[in-house]
Chains A and B, each alone.
Chain A
């Protein structure tokens, strides 16, 4: 029977019961590889439930550094009887099934082409620990210990991490170390050589850090100078606001007075969240909200007001499966159109597409700058895959010489110097007007902000030319935004390529791996990662340079393609969609399969027509 064998290149998946304390043990397992210098990418796969229901944690180990989901499972740690059958089914032929063998299982519970590896986890826990609750919790450490032995993970690396995690909690350290050792010793004694997958110390992690996208975006908001955050809990964005709270408490408390240089409001709903952000933005504070698709739906009226009244607003949309409640704990890139055109009437909004935590950090700070510069809503479009999973990425970086771009705000001195203030005057020809903040000047610069039409001096007006003037100016401003959003990133093929591929956001790791795999099959593709909307001119030029361009995205309706056609003057006929939208993060296997299949079709000579028609 086939037996999978690999060093530092495999997928381990844990099937657990929600609430059983498995999360920290599984993360310990993943992090052990990092400490041994081997890149990993773990993913939480959890249905929308609270406790007692299934949850999975998948770890891809890749010395080469591929960080996307690969697809398929080489070693399944099956700790949930409820999902046993589907977990067993997921294994690659020749793969390994680690299970709790405390009670014998009939052969029908296994597959003929896989290798079961039994560890009497419950038995070990019961024999060594008296307390019922502890018995349950240590099971997780017992299987991690067993895995350490089976995969040649360095036990001391795991032990050190346990000591770090539970420092000053001697009892916890003790019981966790004991459980780890228990599993390790059992496997060493009884299961030597049972698994062909091995870990080996390497040097491929370097200075990289391991962080969730939501935490990185929250740090970006701290570094970017956000002082007001208003939010309403919604998966998968809640941990972003919570991380912002955590970092503010650490980094933004005034040393002299102990007082806070920030204000965070957990509002009563999304409508109030965005309302607070609009009010704060209007009054000159850098403000943001974090939400997901259903939240954006609720916010759209305010977003339209902010667009038309020209108020800086930053919205972080951590996308999940839609529409409606959709799949709250699954990932998608399906809010593009909802955000690009949020609200009624003619609206267009600026979108930023980070590909992982590092860009979450950079783009969050950039979003705050752009919102102030452009006086408009700016969306940071992340997703559950980026936001709620830890990713290996380059260290976050900040240039201390960087200064916040507060945009065109007229000061009291500006007003005193006699400059003409018309709130909606296009003084510089870039579509961006000047604003004043409340309280600036005793008798100059005050104006009335409203969602209704007005003239260049903010006076209510329903006169057609006044309305058209503002709407056209807003378009000019959008054209300016095109020059300010991050440029797309080109990954040229190693050989001349007739195909192009456009992708964005969390698709990036899978795409990079896929490009490599495709090149191996002789399919060469130039790839362009889009990072901002409105699309810089390079995007249309890229499409023009290729007869066919794949557009890879994680939604059903090809929303990026729609935006490219609608907003970048690109013909739909040149674009071929590759769509993945089952709620799981896209895999390199999927992209490679789809592109290779379609590319072969174009490479084949066209069949001769069966009948000539005169």
Chain B
């Protein structure tokens, strides 16, 4: 992971958000990924999402595992602390970080090798533990850093660049996240920024375990005929169940209601998630039908994108552990140490 800094010159005409930051303030180092990599598009979407949400970059902790995707946190939010941990074990590190300071925004970035192979266990458990985070899985169905082996999300029957056919069944991470108890489950496509940015914004605002599987074609090793994670394939088979708008609550909500029924879901940070249904039968708050919809679409070879499931009454790990509001890392000696007098009492009971 090379570190190439970007020049810090800002164009005077760059638009600032409400807290005075321009998009450039949300950038990181220059990406060293291949030109055209879907992951870079996701980084761009993240930059835009955080900028639009008016979040101070340093209030974000970005954690990743190992792999092409896990390199990306170096390429956005340069003023945030980042943590490139070990392969597949980002979820536990993020959990610990979140326990230490509930006051920050936690962004987990992972890949399909990272999350669906070695990290499948931690992926499952971080969802059921409902850690408050936005977990972005940059899914290209291939191992890029080791030059083109299948990952566990590669569809059965899909072909590698070297012409091998995958005979294993694919791990469907959105189904798994749903099953394990994630309270926000979505799928996006790196090539559809218009859909992805609101999804990311909604995930960040969500007060629990928010997961977005982002299909992100690998231009070097998995963007060829026969791949089900290529740009062409996904564009041809994309079936979006909905489009989202996220409106910060401090703004008057003014949206166009013309395109059918909407539901409004207030989020943790005070924003309101406005969900516009494109499919009259799709209800993103119904877990059972979400699962059925994903399964049926997969059988037809379709890649379902959009917000697939949202639990309106979501809560997070800190709520379940009933921890104090003050971040645990800010508690001092006086908060933590019961003192010598108490120890005397404990000693007395041990005789």
Contacts and interface: CB of A to CB of B under 8 A. Distances in A.
Size category of the binding interface on chain A = 35 or more
Given A209-B350, A230-B96, A260-B324, A283 B125 contact: no
A257 B324 contact: yes
A439 B103 contact: yes
B84 A448 contact: yes
B1 interface: yes
Interface string B10-39: 000000000000000000000000000000
Contact of B82 (A228, A437, A448): A448
Contact of B61 (A271, A305, A438): A438
A314 B58 CA distance: 27
Given A272-B92, A275-B122, A287-B96, A227 B331 contact: yes
A150 interface: no
B81 A301 contact: no
A460 B3 contact: yes
A456 to B, nearest CB: 13
B79 A442 contact: yes
Contact of B122 (A268, A287, A448): A268
B340 A397 contact: yes
Contacts of B125: 267-268, 272
Interface in B299-346: 318, 321-325, 328-329, 331, 333, 335-340, 342-344, 346
A452 interface: yes
Interface residues of B, number: 61
Interface stretch (A11-19, A398-406, A519-527, A539-547): A398-406
A219 interface: yes
B347 interface: yes
Contact of A275 (B93, B322, B323, B324): B93
Interface in A402-450: 403-404, 436-443, 446-450
Contact of B84 (A268, A438, A449): A449
B86 A301 contact: yes
A269 interface: yes
A305 B329 CA distance: 21
Nearest to B121: A268
Given A268-B121, A438-B101, A228 B96 contact: yes
A277 B96 contact: yes
Interface string B66-107: 000000011000111111111001011111111111011000
B101 A439 contact: yes
Contacts, number: 231
Nearest to A223: B337
A448 to B, nearest CB: 4
B100 A251 contact: no
Given A251-B338, A261-B331, A284-B329, A450 B1 contact: yes
B96 A284 contact: no
Contacts of B121: 268-269, 271-272
Among B73, B96, B97, B342, max chain A CB count under 10 A is at B96
A6 interface: no
Nearest to A450: B84
A167 to B, nearest CB: 13
A34 interface: yes
Nearest to B19: A442
B11 to A, nearest CB: 19
A225 B337 contact: yes
Contacts of A404: 333, 336-337
Given A272-B89, A302-B89, A443 B79 contact: yes
A283 B96 contact: yes
Interface in A204-226: 207-211, 219, 222-223, 225
B250 interface: no
Given A259-B324, A268-B122, A460-B3, A282 B333 contact: no
A438 B104 contact: yes
Interface in A264-278: 264-265, 267-269, 271-278
B81 A447 contact: yes
A166 to B, nearest CB: 16
Nearest to B84: A450
B121 to A, nearest CB: 6
B56 interface: yes
A398 B78 contact: no
A498 interface: no
Contacts of B81: 436-439, 446-449
Contact of B336 (A210, A227, A449): A227
A29 B96 CA distance: 44
Contacts of B63: 279
Contacts of B340: 397-400
Contact of B351 (A34, A227, A278, A436): A34
Contact of A302 (B84, B86, B338, B350): B86
Among B84, B328, B339, max chain A CB count under 10 A is at B328
Nearest to A275: B92
Contacts of A155: none
A338 to B, nearest CB: 19
A396 B328 contact: no
Which of B82, B83, B318, B339 lies at the interface centre, i.e. has the most chain A CB atoms within 10 A of its CB? B83
B59 interface: yes
Contact of B329 (A227, A265, A396): A227
Interface of A: 34, 207-211, 219, 222-223, 225, 227-228, 230, 251-252, 254, 257-265, 267-269, 271-285, 287, 301-302, 305, 395-400, 403-404, 436-443, 446-452, 459-461
25 contacts: A223-B337, A228-B96, A228-B328, A230-B96, A262-B328, A263-B321, A265-B129, A268-B122, A271-B121, A271-B122, A274-B92, A275-B92, A277-B96, A279-B94, A280-B100, A280-B328, A281-B100, A396-B343, A400-B340, A436-B81, A437-B81, A439-B58, A439-B104, A443-B79, A449-B84
Given A261-B324, A263-B328, A459-B3, 5 more contacts: A275-B86, A279-B95, A285-B99, A439-B58, A449-B81
The 7 closest A-B pairs by CB, nearest first: A279-B96, A275-B92, A285-B100, A284-B329, A283-B100, A438-B81, A280-B96
